[in-house]
Amino acid sequence: MFLARRSAQAEYFDAPERTASELAEHYVWLNRVNRVTRFDRPFRMWIPRLLPESDCRDLTVLDVGAGDGELGRTLSAWARQQGWSWKFTDLDLSPHACGLNPNPRATVGSATALPFPDRSFDVVVATTMTHHLPEEADVVAHFREAARVARRLVLVCDMQRSAWFLGALGLFLWLHRVPREFREDGLLSVRRGWRVEEWQRMAAAAGLKQARVWSEHGTRVLLSVEKKT
Ligand SMILES: C[S@@+](CC[C@H](N)C(=O)[O-])C[C@H]1O[C@@H](n2cnc3c(N)ncnc32)[C@H](O)[C@@H]1O
């Protein structure tokens, strides 16, 4: 069946030989697409649903695979409009991405071995990152590490591997005239994505009995882990 197995092909922009200026251009395009697709919406919607409002007023948040830090900038500006303070620490494997990030708490590191003590952040988030991990064992480590450094909540969101999403994204990227390498990586991201039952299996392997995994619009897969204080 089409897309029954996830692609193991590496993404163009993940290659270590990509230069800082190539990656800067990549994040300009990613941020444009992120704005149009409202990539911050699942976090604006679910964090206040999963945490009491009193907790939302003042949060420390770790964004894993943060790229140039656009999610943190977008969500902290939105939180300010609610009268809340959300302070982001951004982590990314790519030193070039961290170099583009104006957040003074941008840190180079891997999702699979987070360089922070247990329960360092109220909330741990990740978006459009998990499909970059090569193997299921890496995703298990990513989920386990996110839960280890979170005090209250983990919320992970990524693209879902689905034929209709692949077609819709292809049309969207073509209509927006995005550069070829970016378009090819975007489509490959969907082919590298995981499905709900696959994340459920990996969350169980990470020992996260309280994890919830669900799909939204057939395009996104989400995982939440609520932790007791
Ligand atoms: C598609 S970008 C998404 C960036 C950002 N989350 C966003 O949505 O704008 C994926 C990011 O994950 C990072 N990444 C890939 N593997 C990683 C790992 N093992 N640990 C941390 N970051 C990783 C890449 O360097 C890249 O910046």
> Is residue 129 in contact with ligand 1, taking CB distance under 6 Å?
yes
* Ligand 1 atom 15: residue of nearest CA: 132
pLDDT digits (tens, 9 = 90+) for 25-37: 999 999 999 999 9
Residue 228 is predicted with a pLDDT of: 82
Which residue CA neighbors atom 26 of ligand 1 most closely?
67
Domain ranges of the chain: 19-226
Q: Is 70 in the pocket of ligand 1 (CB under 6 A)?
A: yes
pTM of the model: 0.97
State which fold the 19-226 domain adopts: Rossmann fold (3.40.50)
Query: How high is the mean pLDDT in each 10-residue block of the chain (229 residues)?
Result: 89 92 94 94 98 96 98 98 98 96 98 98 98 97 98 98 94 93 96 97 97 95 93
Q: Which of 100, 131, 132 to mutate to test the pocket of ligand 1 (most atoms within 8 A of CB)?
A: 132
The predicted pLDDT at position 229 comes to 72
For the Cβ of 192 lying below 6 angstroms from any atom of ligand 1, the answer is: no
SS (H, E, C) the chain: CCCCCCCCCCCHHHCCCCCHHHHHHHHHHHHHHHHHCCCCHHHHHHHHHHCCHHHHCEEEEEEECCCCCHHHHHHHHHHHHCCCEEEEEEEECCHHHHHHCCCCCEEECECCECCCCCCCEEEEEEECCHHHCCCHHHHHHHHHHHHHHEEEEEEEEEEECCHHHHHHHHHHHHHCCCCHHHHHHHHHHHHHCECHHHHHHHHHHCCCCCCEEEEECCCEEEEEEECCC
